Amino acid sequence: MEQEPKKITDRQIYETSIGPVFMSKIEYAMYQEEMVKQIEKLHIYVDADACPVVRIVEKIAEKYTIPVTLLCDTNHVLQSNYSEVIVVGAGADAVDYKLISICHKGDIVVSQDYGVAAMALGKGAYAIHQSGKWYTNDNIDRMLMERHLNKKARRSSGKNHIKGPKKRIPEEDEHFSESFEKMIHMAIQNREGENNGKECLSTLIEFLKATSCTYY
């Protein structure tokens, strides 16, 4: 004979990511645990070929216990004590396409390639340049156009050789660190809040149904 479920009498109103919910202290603790699981799904992907901010990314990610994946080709094999390293064949854009194939909505992508950033934004991920500049849906088209025009100008002038990057200075690393950490905060808040996507919302609703809580 099936036992009747134990009645919960200590329920009260708690604020959640979809509004006020009538639940018990135990249910609220379970809800918080579910939300932590959603936050933990945040992942950072780095287009790591000749990337000068890999160690900065790892240091900050470790602070928040966020997993990192470094992607490089066979010409730039990396080693890391913190990150997962994926080595891709040295074909044209092979690293770029591999990165985009494994990143998801809400993840963070670090890349100096505007094309990679555009594809990441298209998947609902966040993207940041090694300078600390955020790629957004508002600026990516302009940045892609500028890249196209610069490339066209080089071809017309016969100067196809691109100068290497200038020596990086400490102020640039500091700026990237601050900007990158702000992006992490935003990504976490968006996962916690009302705009954190269907996955987190559906998880919460299923949890509430399973525990017979009342939400409105």
Give residue-wise pLDDT tens across range 132-181. Answer: 999 999 999 998 888 767 777 767 766 655 565 678 899 999 999 999 99
For residue 114 the two structure tokens come to 């505007």
pLDDT of residue 167: 83
Question: Would the pLDDT of 207 be above 80?
Answer: no
pLDDT of residue 194: 43
pLDDT of residue 116: 95
pLDDT in tens, 2-35: 554 444 456 677 666 555 666 777 777 776 676 6
| Residue 190: its H or E element | helix 170-192
* pTM of the predicted structure, to 2 decimals: 0.69
> By the 8 A CB rule, do 112 and 51 touch?
yes
pLDDT in tens, 67-107: 999 999 998 889 999 999 999 987 878 999 999 999 999 99
pLDDT of residue 210: 63
Question: Would the pLDDT of 59 be above 90?
Answer: yes
Domains and their CATH numbers in the chain? 10-40 (no CATH), 41-160+168-187 (3.40.50)
Question: Would the pLDDT of 38 be above 70?
Answer: no
**Number of DSSP helices (H) and strands (E) in the chain, helices first:** 7, 9
List the Cα angle 100/88/115 in 5-degree steps: 35
Distance CA 51, CA 46 (A): 8
User: Which residues have CB under 8 Å from 6's CB, separation 6+?
Assistant: none
Give the orientation angle of helix 170-192 with respect to helix 25-40, to 10 degrees.
140
List the Cα angle 73/79/84 in 5-degree steps: 80
User: Which residues have CB under 8 Å from 210's CB, separation 6+?
Assistant: none
